[in-house]
Structures are given as structure tokens and as C-alpha cells.
Amino acid sequence: MPEFDHGHPVVHDVAVKPIVISMGLLVTGCAVKAPVVEETLVAGDSSAPSQLTPAESMAIAQELATHPWRPFAGNILHGKDKSGILVNTPDVSHEPGQPRRGWWVPGVVNEGIPYKWGGFDDPAAFDVAVAEGHAAGDVSSPEKRRADNAAVSQHAAGLDCSGFISRCLKLPTVHDTRQLPSVCDALPSGDDLRPGDILNIPGRHVVLFAGWSKPDRTWTYYYETGGGPQYWKPALKQAPLAAMLGLGYKPLRYRGMARPVVKQGTSSKEVLTRSVKATAIPVPNPTVGEP
């Protein structure tokens, strides 16, 4: 994926944070107060470029997936930008009869920051760019992948898969799919995944692990942009873990992610709410994503 140099890494110290989890029991229809279980988070590696908790990572992902914005006709571009780079915004006029069709509608409020090849915009920067008339997104293509950085438009706004993950990890600069392993540790297996971890294919695609959608850990929740369905916007999805690993995804844990202190054999706290889980798109046959 494209890489950028937006500044030097910044390290923030994160103190140990206690999180209280209240677990309720239901007996013969009557609510019974359960003991309070405390889960303590230990800060990640202080040498990592950023520090955050799994809950913070999920909150950022959800914000990027639901950010409201209002585009207009001037934010649509299907042709070359001012620098001669071909741009195709994922608006509803983009390949409407194809599986990777566009989605956003001019003149109304849309949700979710659109995909942009080489994009690393946060919501504030994206809103400014849209207000200034920049193209709202730029879809990926085999030609853009071959051209890499040379195909990144400075006149379009949005996020690609590695830009999305870099934002969700609070990285001060974008780390592409080849760079992400340098700030992460490989996990022994997919069973070791925790919310805030990533599934990465260097040079191709990356997604954010968000939890287990089945108790037996056969299906995962994950946030993704650039993959189907809803290719050109961030979304929460659920898919079989074995299928994801079969595609070549490698489970990684960011070194700056706070980790829970739990007894061996227990699970860490879930970070997705029931209402957010209800929005997850089932993907029984996942693909690698971007062309």
C-alpha cells in the first residue's frame, strides 16, 4: 500500500487503566446482582509509535464507519485530476451494475468516510477537503496497485485499508501493509486474537479484528474498508476465521495496544456493544478485498 511521511513518531505514556465489567445473571425471570469483575489493562510497549486501548481502537473504527457528511456534485470525479492522475469517486454513478459499485449520494447526508487509494484522512481533515471541493474518495484498481504511490491523488480525500488501520491504531503516520508488521508482534494462532489486533496480508490488504461473533471462535467480527460487500466504505463485518486465514491473513498484535490482565483460560472483555454487533454484515465467503 502507499506510504507517506507526515512527521515523526510520537510516544504517549498510558497509565494502567482499571475497567469494571458488570455481569448480570437471570434466574427464573428475576434479575440477580452478580459480583463485579475487574479487568486491568496494562499499557503497551512504550517504544511503540502510539498507545491506546482496544475500546479506543473500536471507537475510532466505528466513528470512521458512521461519520456523517454531505457531498455535492462538485465532489464527484471520474477522470483525471489537476495533476493528471485518474480518479474515480465511489458515488452512486460509479459502475452501478458491477459488484464493486459506488454508494454515496450527492446532496444528502451520507455515513462513513469513503475509500481513497493512499488515503489517511481523519474525519476533520476529510470534512475540510470535501468543503473545498476535493473528490470524495478514489477507488482502487489493478492499475493503481501497479503504480502504487504514483497513483495517489492529492485532490481526493478518504481512507484506504492501511490508512484506516493506521487511524484505528492512532499511528502518527500511515503504515502500509508491508510496514505494519514492523510495529506488531505475530500471534501464535488465530485463536489468540483480541479486539484491536489486525489480520494482514503484506502488499495486499489488512482488516481490524473486533471480536468473536460465535462462542466457539469460528467466526470473527472485523472492520474493513476496500473489501466486499460495501467495498468502498468502512464497515463492520463477520466471517469464518478459517476462511480468512485460508486467504493468507496473518494475525498480528500492535505493540502499543494495552493488554488485559486475565487468568489463563479466560477471555478478555468484549468491546462491541449489542447495537453495533447488530449492524455487522455476514460474509460467509470473504475475499482479499482491494483489486
The C-alpha cell that represents 54 in the structure block: 482496544
Helix (H) or strand (E) holding 224: strand 219-224
Average pLDDT score, the chain? 88
Cα(272)–Cα(279) distance, integer angstroms: 11
| Cβ atoms within 10 Å of 229's Cβ, excluding its own | 12
Percent of the chain with pLDDT over 90: 80
Q: What is the pLDDT of residues 101-154, one digit of tens each?
A: 999 999 999 999 999 999 999 999 999 999 999 999 999 999 999 999 999 999
Where would I find the beta strands (DSSP E) of 30-120?
Answer: 30-32, 36-42, 68-69, 78-80, 86-88, 110-111
Largest Cα separation within the chain, whole Å, is 69
Q: Which of 206, 196, 189, 202 minimizes the C-alpha distance to 251?
A: 189
Q: What is the pLDDT of residues 23-64, one digit of tens each?
A: 333 333 444 444 444 568 999 999 999 999 999 999 999 999
Reported as a pLDDT band with limits 50, 70 and 90, residue 21 is: very low
Contact 64, 112 (CB under 8 A): yes
Contact 36, 20 (CB under 8 A): yes
Where would I find the beta strands (DSSP E) of 85-197?
Answer: 86-88, 110-111, 135-136, 156-157, 184-186
